[in-house]
Chains A and B, each alone.
Chain A
Amino acid sequence: MKYNILVGGAAGQGMSTISTLLQKVLKRKGFYVFANKDYMSRVRGGHNFVQIRFGTTPITSHHPTLDAIIALDQSTIDNHINRLNNNGIIICDTDLNSEDKRVIQIPMRKLSREIKNPRVFGSIGIGALLKIFGISIDNIEPVLRKRFDKNTSQANLEAFKKGHELVESHFNINSNNEDNHIIINGNQAIALGAIAGGVTFYSAYPMTPSTSVMTYLSKKQQEAGILVEQAEDEIAAINMALGASYAGIRSMTGTSGGGFSLMVEGIGLGAVAEIPLVIVNVQRPGPATGLPTRTAQCDLDFVISASQDDFPKMVIAVRNPEDAFYQTVRALNLAEKYQIQVIILSDQYLADYNQTIKPYNFDEISIDRYLSSKDDIGEGFYKRYKFTENGISPRIIPSTIESKTVLGDSHEHNEIGFVDESIENRIAMMNKRMKRISLLKSEIQEPEYIGVENPEILLLGWGSTHGSLLEAVELLANESIKIGALIFGDIWPLPTGQLEYYGTNSKTIVNVEHNFTGQLANLIAQETGFKCDKSILRYDGRQLSGTDIYNKVKKEVL
């Protein structure tokens, strides 16, 4: 059983406090929670909302219909009432109006004044909402105590009670699960993965929707003993990170498409100088400033080919908050193993949605640095770019080995790092660098397959559509439709094994993506010759839900 709630209002009305508290309370009550954000690029006003879905089984996508709305302003009612189920409820303060019988006005502001803390008005709404779903308010104090001091917790608790008393139950949902989850969004998962993966320096320039990675790390930097630096621009951000990595610490940078554009030359520097680096691109629609607070999967083509000439790089599209954590740690290890740039692609939807998931297993992860010691490099001049069997040269940390100096260079260079334009050297160096591509191919993880054993319809997706595809496939399979989906995480170099296997046997291949041209489908065609028969594409800055994909498959594919 799953229900859908929307909390809406203008920026600055306290919507985010209400929605966060509500998510935490639902989680505490043992429910699975999934909450995604829809907001405008402005600090005050506009129309913003959070959709909170909760239930007794795992949830991976938002939903088009609503069971309840908490409206903090009139436009929340006007914009979303047509999505409200017939038996749904709207909770709002007495100053908002609607003829609709589903509206319940409660004097939130007036009651909050009675409690002598006007800031708790939202908790009155939450209390009422919980009652509507038949959820008790026992045992929620710890949630409050985590966020507020004693007095404020008490005031909020009183507010919950007041709200609870004011309305009747409409629904009845109950969870027997213990609350043993974490609730985390995609950007927090990347940031936590960065700390777990040994990132010691993070330099970036704020750009929505990537900023919260930096904000999280910045808040924790002292406790974690790392440095987070707001660079003067993205060019500085990547070049500082490269310098720090060259000098011996794990470094990372993050941005969105516009900032990534500025980093492009730095990616080439990292490649030719063979400096490990992880770069996060949290995508938003472009071109240029585009839609700053909305979602897209529009940078795949761009990041794969970013920076001039050929060199090995890796692109990982993270699929959900669980994946984002583990893949960040993996990216950091692979970058150092192969001395390459690893790009993590995420997007606004994943960056900002909160999901209850099981806690990360720290026994599954490790930090592997692949550094060389004095004995590995032998006597004489240290050759930073030494020719080796597999193309990986021994890497040392400058200043740690007496009389060995490390020369990083952006020109074509010889084994030491000196500029060398000779034909023989150029060919040998190019071959050396490119050798690592075949090694990378052996590291690549195949896409995740979900669905029936022999699908007639094969959906192809990547990154954040994972959750929506999961739900869509389940809905369609329940109707005995022979369907499956391959969802790519590692996307460059492109893994092709599963694709060959499922692609050859299915009748209709459909790519599902958040961009105009079908960038994954084009990449697949380029790499394998497979052509998609149909496409489900969305490029309006909003995410396809599981239900959206289900409907599109039924209407346009079947």
Chain B
Amino acid sequence: MATDIKLFESKSENSWCPGCGNFGIVNALKKAFSELDLLPHNILIASGIGQAAKTPHYVNANGFNGLHGRGIPPAVGAKIANKDLRVIVTSGDGDSYGEGGNHLIHNIRRNIDITHLVHNNQIYGLTKGQGSPTTGKGHKTSMQFEGVYADEFNPIAFAISLGCSFVARSFSADKDHLSEMIKAGMEHNGYALIDILQPCVTFNKINTYKWYKDRVYYIEDDYNPYDKVEAFKKSQEWENKIPIGVIYKEDKPTFIDRIPQIKDNPPLINKKLDPKNAIKFMEEFK
């Protein structure tokens, strides 16, 4: 069963550069939605600000295009309000790992059931090419003229160390792999982080389509993503070979599962409100 992929087509004008890696991500996302038999009004796509973060405009579904770095918290609030919503966060590497890093840490800890796609182009695209947390050390940018001094952020190792319950990497030019990863992330109960290698054709002349294609390989079939030590080893591969696929998994209760007043009731949006419900609390002040 699948829903018509055309349902997810948006009427918005698009402002990505021709050839941008983001197109592959949007196409894979629509494919995943369709194959998961979803309807637009049951999905929420939340984002921060950046080129990647424009995704909610380019897919027909509920959308929340919030503030730079703050894609995750509204998504979490929405999931709390309506646990039946299928919630996706789509945002850039700067947005997710830089400005909004704190939210990433703590929502991995909450293990809230959302799927977070990081369009990792290793650069600040929208603001025209400054270094991001994942820009290679020494890479010269439109701001770091002598090259980036700081060490690169390794999102995979970071997420594994926090016990993120689903950690995967994919490549925007590999639509089938990416849509499979998105589907797996959405089917997973808990926080799913998918770091997506996404060439920026305008501002990142180093990590190009070719650069990624020369390095990516599919993780072996017999790989066990539940082995934290092996996963950590995989997370260290980068310079010559970049593994794509599900790198780490952990089964544990989601945020909603941990909270009886949400877990055991209909979604909070259906809660009947009545001021008189508070009378009993006032009595305690007597």
Interface residues in chain A, defined as those with a beta carbon under 8 Å from any beta carbon in chain B:
179, 181-184, 188, 192, 195-198, 200-201, 203, 220-227, 229, 231-233, 235-237, 239-251, 265-266, 269, 273, 329, 359-360, 362, 365-367, 369, 381, 397-411, 416-419
Contact = CB atoms under 8 A, between A and B. Distances in A.
Contact of B42 (A182, A201, A232, A399): A399
Contacts of B73: 231, 235-237, 239-240, 242-243
Nearest to B84: A399
B80 interface: yes
A552 to B, nearest CB: 34
A203 B271 contact: no
Nearest to A268: B67
B5 interface: no
B140 interface: no
Contact of A197 (B42, B61, B261, B275): B275
A402 B41 contact: yes
Contacts of B75: 243
Given A366-B275, A417-B63, A243 B78 contact: yes
A277 to B, nearest CB: 10
A473 B277 CA distance: 38
A188 B281 CA distance: 10
B18 interface: no
A399 B77 contact: no
Contact of B62 (A195, A237, A399): A399
B41 A399 contact: yes
A399 B82 contact: yes
Contacts of B11: 381, 416, 418
B173 to A, nearest CB: 26
Contact of A201 (B67, B81, B273): B81
Contacts of B42: 399
B279 A242 contact: no
Given A239-B73, A247-B82, A405-B63, A221 B261 contact: yes
B65 A409 contact: yes
11 contacts: A225-B271, A243-B75, A247-B81, A266-B67, A329-B275, A397-B269, A398-B62, A399-B62, A399-B82, A405-B40, A418-B12
Contact of B77 (A195, A243, A397): A243
B74 A406 contact: no
Which of A222, A400, A410 has most B Cβ within 10 Å?
A: A410
Interface of B: 11-13, 15, 39-42, 44, 46, 49, 54, 56-57, 60-67, 70, 72-82, 84-85, 102-103, 105-106, 259-262, 265, 268-269, 271, 273-279, 281-282, 285-286
Contacts of A237: 73
A402 B12 CA distance: 21
Contacts of A231: 73, 106
Contacts of A381: 11
A416 B11 CA distance: 10
A198 B273 contact: yes
Contact of A251 (B56, B61, B77): B77
A179 B75 CA distance: 48
A398 B41 contact: yes
Nearest to A27: B286
A523 B204 CA distance: 50
Query: Ordered nearest first, which 10 A-B pairs have the shortest CB separation?
Result: A243-B77, A243-B74, A239-B73, A244-B77, A247-B81, A247-B78, A196-B278, A182-B285, A232-B106, A240-B77
A370 to B, nearest CB: 13
A327 to B, nearest CB: 14
Contacts of B70: 235-236, 239, 266, 269
A366 B278 CA distance: 12
Contact of A242 (B63, B77, B285): B77
Given A182-B286, A225-B271, A240-B76, A403 B40 contact: yes
Given A231-B73, A235-B102, A405-B41, 14 more contacts: A200-B273, A237-B73, A241-B77, A243-B76, A245-B77, A245-B81, A247-B85, A249-B268, A249-B271, A266-B67, A408-B63, A408-B66, A418-B13, A419-B54
A419 B16 CA distance: 13
Given A239-B73, A399-B42, A195 B277 contact: yes
A410 B40 contact: no
Given A188-B285, A196-B278, A201 B44 contact: no
A268 B252 CA distance: 37
Contacts of A369: 273
Contact of A243 (B13, B64, B285): B64
A369 B269 CA distance: 12
B73 to A, nearest CB: 4
Contacts of B39: 402-403
B62 A407 contact: yes
Nearest to A354: B285
B286 A192 contact: no
B276 A220 contact: no
